[in-house]
Amino acid sequence: MTERLTVFTAVLPSYRYISEFSLCLKMFKKALPDNSSLITTEESDPHSLRDIITTHLDVISPYVLIMKEPALLIKEGTIEPMVQILKKDRSISCVLPSDMRGFRQGRNAIYYTLRGFERFIDSLYDPEDLFISYDGRDPWMFLIRGNILREMEIPEDPLSIPRVLPAKSTCISLNAYIHPFIDYFEQTRSDVLDLIPGNISSLLDVGCARGRFGIHAKNKFSCKVVGVEINPYEAAKAREHFDYVYCGDMLTTEINERFDCITCLDVLEHLHDPEAFLQKMHSLLHDDGYIVLSVPNVGHWSVVEDLLAGRWDYIPPGILCVAHLRFFTKTTIQNLLKDTGFRIISIKEQKNPILDSMLDNFNLLKQAGMEIDEQSLACFCYYIVAKKII
């Protein structure tokens, strides 16, 4: 069993309001060895992380895990290979897990569900080839010897520690893999800007997070941008950039103005009553207004494959996000928009090609007489532009 760890990280106030991050924290705690000490700060700045580390240096365990925040997908047992490297090689002082920026050659990081993530990690394991040299990447998390941490001067940003240590004393574990949700609230979604029709003068961004998309829209169209965000911590950040931000549930928030365009990017699936929501969006649009949506497709091949294997596992962000209350295919979202007074202008599909092995299996089912929609199976998400019908 892995030795007890001392863990330093930031658990931001957003975790209180968002079930995706609550699940991240739960998964992270399950991945820690028994009796580990988790010491946290609610501040995102590096100085706060440095303060909690320096305050607790006299009580740290032989191995210390330092991470930015537990906004990641991690499997139980992930930390064990990192500890084993430190136990076996005294010349190594610091170990990072591998991630999408680098892992074993010959492996394709294709996973969309928890089952797929688990299978990918299992495919990485090699008891002989344990690590590679540190390549200078920005660390999301790392494991360091407690005595090394005590003896060094902690830098202003503790996450820079792997870069200030001697190069040969830091490595990346090939048997430990994580998937961080880097900048989850910072996504610009700039590709969606091209979907907005015409030259708008006002935009309502529902689920605006910290406002990165709204900032780009404001710059491109020189328009008024108003946001709605249910998370008060993120809404406060968006207010720094938007003309106005409402904080609360969209269905109960009173908005007394109309807009040329409303964007709902990965929002509809989080709502208990999508029909009532779209009806309200209809009322908030000018007569010639548009709504732009991005909606994940529950008919994606990875979900179908999991169901055939008897699996449906909620995860943080993804098609099976733990915060999703409703699920859509192309047909259901088309019908819902029609029923709520919208005419679809365009539907753009985000494709994720079906694995050859799965395609062979689906073809066998087709030959057996089953109806198979390969186009739906290969689609991860739909981007939809619809116009208000008067």
Tokens 């030259």, located at residue: 199
User: Do 176 and 213 belong together in one domain?
Assistant: no
Mean pLDDT of 290-317: 96
1 pLDDT above the threshold of 70: no
User: pLDDT category, 358, cuts 50, 70, 90?
Assistant: confident
The whole-model pTM stands at 0.91
CA gap 232, 12 in Å, rounded: 12
CA gap 290, 344 in Å, rounded: 10
pLDDT of residue 12: 86
Domain count, the chain: 2
Residues in the chain: 390
SS3 state of residue 264: strand
The CATH number for 275's domain is 3.40.50.150
243 pLDDT above the threshold of 90: yes
Q: Which of 97-111, 133-147, 331-345, 375-389 has the lowest mean pLDDT?
A: 97-111
User: Do 60 and 160 belong together in one domain?
Assistant: yes
Q: Are 93 and 148 in contact (CB under 8 A)?
A: yes
Mean pLDDT of 282-302: 97
User: Do 219 and 166 belong together in one domain?
Assistant: no
User: pLDDT category, 131, cuts 50, 70, 90?
Assistant: very high
DSSP 178-241: -EE-TTGGG---GGGGGGS-S--SEEEEET-TTSHHHHHHHHHH--EEEEEES-HHHHHHHTTT
CA gap 263, 9 in Å, rounded: 34
Across 53-201, where does the E strand assignment appear?
63-67, 72-73, 94-98, 131-133, 141-145, 170-177, 179-180
Last residue of a domain, one of 140, 157, 180: 180
User: Do 163 and 243 belong together in one domain?
Assistant: no
CA gap 111, 310 in Å, rounded: 17
pLDDT of residue 2: 61
13 pLDDT above the threshold of 90: no
User: Do 338 and 189 belong together in one domain?
Assistant: yes
Owning domain of residue 151: 5-180
Q: What is the DSSP letter of 258?
A: -
User: Do 106 and 195 belong together in one domain?
Assistant: no
More confident site: 185 or 127: 127
Q: Are 237 and 184 in contact (CB under 8 A)?
A: no
Distances (CA, A) of 285 to 83, 152, 214, 263, 281: 56, 59, 17, 11, 6
- Order the strands of the 37-41 sheet from edge to edge: 37-41, 5-10, 63-67, 141-145, 94-98, 170-177, 131-133
User: Do 225 and 357 belong together in one domain?
Assistant: yes
User: Do 16 and 58 belong together in one domain?
Assistant: yes
pLDDT of residue 310: 97
User: Do 38 and 21 belong together in one domain?
Assistant: yes
User: Do 16 and 55 belong together in one domain?
Assistant: yes
The CATH number for 155's domain is 3.90.550.10
Each residue's pLDDT tens digit, 29-71: 999 998 899 999 998 888 999 999 999 999 999 999 999 999 9
User: pLDDT category, 347, cuts 50, 70, 90?
Assistant: very high
Each residue's pLDDT tens digit, 172-205: 999 999 999 876 777 778 889 999 988 899 999 9
Mean pLDDT taken over the chain? 94
User: Do 216 and 361 belong together in one domain?
Assistant: yes
Last residue of a domain, one of 180, 203, 221: 180
User: Do 200 and 138 belong together in one domain?
Assistant: no
Last residue of a domain, one of 180, 213, 246: 180
